[in-house]
């Protein structure tokens, strides 16, 4: 009887919406979710087994054999595969690329898991025969030897307390035995720090989440800034740790990781790990392995931490759930908040979305009964909410972009030993350089944008494509050498503040000042010291930081976002103003917020100041309903770019023509993108709206296979963005 040759279907990291069939070598045991190395053209790729014994349309003689099976236990467990399969379908992205996005870089390269087993250290017979007198020359070796006398210790724990050099010295003397072992589940040692007394609202929120353990529930925790949302998270987590279960906390920005990690480590005697792009490949793989084995109890990470293979995931928390950074804007364009809700459903566990400024989508889900709405309406320690004052710039003299009133109030707070925070959402020294003779402005040669002047590095930098060039000596039009900065960025404001307040320390937080590893933690540590200080920065300041000594916040330029064409601009401005203002008055002193504007009468500013974000959000939702915009309709966006503008327009017109038979869709476009040209290519977009999600996705599922065969599709670069947030 002829032996049956097993066939496997493999998902590969290529931009093709199909799988590939291969022959599996005899006597190789492999499961779905395992990695294999396979030939693909003239190269070899690492893929994931997606199906065993598929009904292949090919003759076996046409199939190539697998080069190597890298493991027999899946690196992607079943529930995680279900999530990734859902994500590939929902975002209409090739499954192979989606699966690859869920693996650490070292596993994508084909490293073997067996190389990363945990190491357990014990004393050898020679080590057990030693006495303290044998270590009189080295106190460090003595301390490690005495620790090992109490029992075996894992490498992670050992290196947290002792140096690798000391370990190597005892190994060289054959006093220690190293054994490769499976990573053990964490051992809960109780609270390292007592929990705080909860307010009534906090207690209601904690009880609601705890009662939902073991079942899928979505909670929106809306709490004013300083209302103690983090304490709610901590007390929701505590009972889970006693049972040896795991928790995922997603943050929108790397900048929030250090203070959050510190807060959780101070409270719990369990392993807490970070996950973000600033970690090395080895550090990320270690976190991935510890999540999979149950060695780590809590992972605090940015959006891709959603794809970690937790062993016992029992609660997902999304902090600052409204933040745009939770949406991936390149490649696989998923929204971490939305996929986290799907993962919670698959894991049958609750999910808690926390924010002071809920997204309109989340508020809509509360109205529809999909989310349970929990509210913290007062600050946890009873502090008053900050007061607002509009500074009419038309009525003030300006000094370095600051109104006289603003400077006076800064001096008052500094004289009291308090901290002042200035928010300016433009990094660099100035948005452009201008010729004083003819008005010429420095523009990016590749984008429809000006280049930002960075004085510290003596460069003009495009913040859209990253292109840089030296400062020109002459005007590009008339040849004049009279070039001067136009507008103001954080670099320039910092320089001016040093002149105005020469004796006051100034801390600048933006992408430039925090580029070096460890720089952000050092700057935050400075801010958390009492005493007079000026804090200056961009959006990094607006997201969840606790600055207890800040009593005055000044938003230097409110007007930039008041007249945007993006329908989400009012919501984003309302969130930004509320979040930045929320940094004031979190300590013992009441806070104050100054808004510098040329338009103090603007309805949006008046609504937020007079009525607060919650009232603004309700009216904004009503406007969205009246104009049939998300969340009352579903949005997909095609964006295309090419060296020739007309190619983009023609390609999108083909889509419009193809979709004319779908009555359930409303199309807007083709339109030139607001940033018409980027990195040398022209950009166009087409908006697809539908009141029925299923109808929209059905049309896209039919369109994409057809679209990829069009000749024009090979001449333009295009992306499909489901539930698009960035319309630029």
Q: List binding-site positions for Zn(2+).
A: 435, 438, 444, 447, 462, 465, 475, 478
Does residue 624 contact residue 571 with C-beta atoms inside 8 Å?
A: no
Q: In 176-278, where do the E strands start and end?
A: 176-181, 218-223, 246-250, 272-275
* Residue 26: burial class (beta carbons within 10 Å; 0-12, 13-18, 19+): exposed
Task: Report how far residue 46's alpha carbon sits from residue 287's, in angstroms, rounded to the nearest whole number.
Answer: 21
Task: Report how far residue 585's alpha carbon sits from residue 381's, in angstroms, rounded to the nearest whole number.
Answer: 11
Q: 587 CB contacts (<8 Å, ≥6 apart)?
A: 383, 548, 549, 550, 551
DSSP secondary structure letter of residue 334: -
Does residue 260 contact residue 251 with C-beta atoms inside 8 Å?
A: yes
* Residue 275: burial class (beta carbons within 10 Å; 0-12, 13-18, 19+): buried
Q: 138 CB contacts (<8 Å, ≥6 apart)?
A: 166, 169
Per the annotation, binding residues are 435, 438, 444, 447, 462, 465, 475, 478
391 beta partners? 596
**Vertex 70, ends 66 and 74: CA angle to 5°?**
110
SS3 assignment, position 319: strand
Helix axes 200-211, 229-242, angle to 10 degrees: 40
Of 293, 285, 297, 326, whose CA–CA distance to 237 is shortest?
297
SS3 assignment, position 260: helix
DSSP secondary structure letter of residue 13: S
- 723-727 CB contacts, 8 Å cutoff, 24+ apart: 723/327, 723/335, 723/338, 723/630, 723/634, 723/635, 723/636, 724/333, 724/635, 724/636, 724/637, 725/324, 725/327, 725/335, 725/568, 726/324, 726/327, 726/329, 727/566, 727/567, 727/568, 727/637, 727/674, 727/685
Q: Please name the residue ranges forming H helices in 6-128.
A: 78-90, 95-101, 105-108, 125-128
Of 18, 11, 77, 78, whose CA–CA distance to 46 is shortest?
11
Token readout for 304 is 């891709």
Token readout for 142 is 């003595």
SS3 assignment, position 715: coil
Task: Report how far residue 728's alpha carbon sits from residue 511's, in angstroms, rounded to the nearest whole number.
Answer: 21
Task: Report how far residue 506's alpha carbon sits from residue 63's, in angstroms, rounded to the nearest whole number.
Answer: 65
SS3 assignment, position 601: coil
Task: Report how far residue 721's alpha carbon sits from residue 138's, in angstroms, rounded to the nearest whole number.
Answer: 61
Does residue 651 contact residue 713 with C-beta atoms inside 8 Å?
A: yes
Of 305, 325, 316, whose CA–CA distance to 511 is shortest?
325
Does residue 353 contact residue 362 with C-beta atoms inside 8 Å?
A: yes
- Strand arrangement of the beta sheet that strand 459-461 belongs to: 452-454, 459-461, 468-470
Task: Report how far residue 660's alpha carbon sits from residue 655's, in angstroms, rounded to the nearest whole number.
Answer: 9
């Amino acid at each position: 009887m002829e032996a049956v040759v097993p066939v496997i279907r493999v998902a590969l990291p290529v931009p093709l919406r199909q799988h590939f069939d291969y022959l599996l070598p005899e006597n190789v045991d492999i499961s779905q979710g395992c990695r294999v190395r396979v030939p693909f053209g003239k190269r070899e790729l690492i893929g994931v087994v997606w199906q065993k014994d598929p009904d292949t349309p090919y003759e076996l003689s046409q199939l190539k054999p697998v080069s190597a099976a890298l493991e027999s236990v899946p690196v992607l467990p079943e529930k995680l595969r279900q999530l990734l399969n859902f994500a590939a379908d929902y975002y209409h992205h090739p499954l192979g690329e989606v699966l690859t996005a869920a693996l650490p870089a070292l596993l994508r390269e084909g490293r073997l898991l067996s190389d990363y087993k945990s190491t357990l250290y014990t004393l050898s017979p020679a080590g057990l025969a030693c006495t303290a007198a044998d270590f009189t020359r080295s106190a460090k070796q003595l301390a490690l030897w005495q620790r090992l006398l109490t029992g075996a210790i894992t490498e992670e724990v050992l290196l947290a307390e002792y140096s690798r050099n000391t370990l190597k010295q005892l190994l060289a003397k054959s006093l220690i035995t190293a054994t490769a072992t499976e990573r053990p589940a964490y051992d809960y040692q109780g609270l390292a720090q007592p929990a705080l007394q909860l307010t009534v609202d906090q207690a209601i929120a904690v009880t609601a989440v705890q009662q939902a353990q073991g079942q899928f529930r979505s909670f929106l925790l809306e709490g004013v800034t300083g209302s103690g949302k983090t304490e709610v998270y901590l007390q929701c987590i505590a009972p889970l740790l006693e049972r040896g279960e795991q928790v995922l906390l997603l943050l929108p920005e790397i900048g929030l990781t250090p203070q959050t990690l510190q807060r959780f480590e101070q409270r719990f005697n369990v392993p807490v790990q970070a996950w973000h792009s600033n970690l090395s490949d080895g550090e990320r793989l270690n976190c991935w392995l510890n999540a999979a084995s149950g060695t780590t109890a809590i992972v605090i990470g940015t959006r891709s931490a959603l794809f970690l293979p937790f062993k016992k995931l029992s609660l997902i928390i999304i902090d600052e759930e409204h933040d745009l950074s939770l949406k991936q804007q390149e490649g696989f364009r998923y929204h971490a908040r939305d996929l986290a809700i799907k993962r919670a459903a698959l894991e049958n566990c609750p999910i808690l979305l926390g924010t002071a400024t809920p997204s309109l989508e989340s508020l809509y889900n509360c109205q529809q009964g999909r989310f349970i709405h929990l509210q913290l309406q007062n600050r946890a320690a009873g502090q008053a909410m900050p007061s607002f004052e509009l500074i009419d710039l038309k009525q003030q003299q300006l000094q370095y972009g600051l109104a006289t009133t603003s400077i006076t109030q800064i001096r008052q707070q500094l004289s009291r030993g308090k901290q002042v925070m200035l928010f300016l959402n433009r990094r660099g020294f100035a948005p452009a350089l201008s010729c004083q003779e003819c008005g010429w402005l420095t523009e990016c040669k590749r984008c429809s944008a000006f280049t930002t002047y960075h004085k510290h590095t003596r460069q003009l930098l495009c913040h859209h494509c990253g292109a840089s060039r030296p400062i020109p000596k002459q005007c590009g039009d008339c040849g004049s050498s009279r070039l001067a900065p136009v507008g103001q960025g954080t670099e320039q404001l910092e320089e001016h503040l040093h002149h105005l307040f020469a004796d006051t320390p100034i801390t600048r937080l933006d992408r430039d000042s925090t580029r070096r590893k460890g720089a952000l933690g050092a700057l935050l540590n400075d801010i958390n010291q009492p005493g007079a200080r000026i804090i200056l920065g961009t959006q990094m300041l607006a997201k969840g930081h606790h600055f207890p000594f800040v009593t005055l916040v000044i938003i230097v330029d409110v007007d930039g976002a008041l007249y945007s064409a993006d329908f989400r601009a009012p919501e984003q401005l309302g969130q930004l103003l509320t979040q930045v203002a929320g940094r004031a008055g979190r300590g013992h002193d009441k806070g104050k917020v100054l808004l510098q504007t040329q338009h103090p009468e603007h309805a949006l500013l008046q609504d937020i100041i007079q009525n607060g974000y919650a009232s603004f959000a309700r009216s904004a939702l009503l406007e969205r309903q009246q104009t049939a915009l998300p969340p009352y309709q579903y949005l997909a966006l095609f964006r295309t770019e090419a060296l020739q503008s007309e190619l983009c327009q023609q390609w999108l017109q083909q889509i419009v023509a193809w979709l004319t038979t779908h009555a359930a869709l409303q199309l807007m476009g083709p339109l030139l993108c607001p940033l018409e040209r980027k990195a040398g290519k022209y950009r166009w977009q087409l908006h697809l709206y539908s009141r029925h999600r299923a109808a929209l996705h059905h049309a896209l599922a039919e369109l994409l296979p057809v679209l990829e065969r069009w000749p024009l599709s090979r001449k333009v670069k295009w992306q499909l963005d489901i539930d698009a947030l960035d319309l630029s």
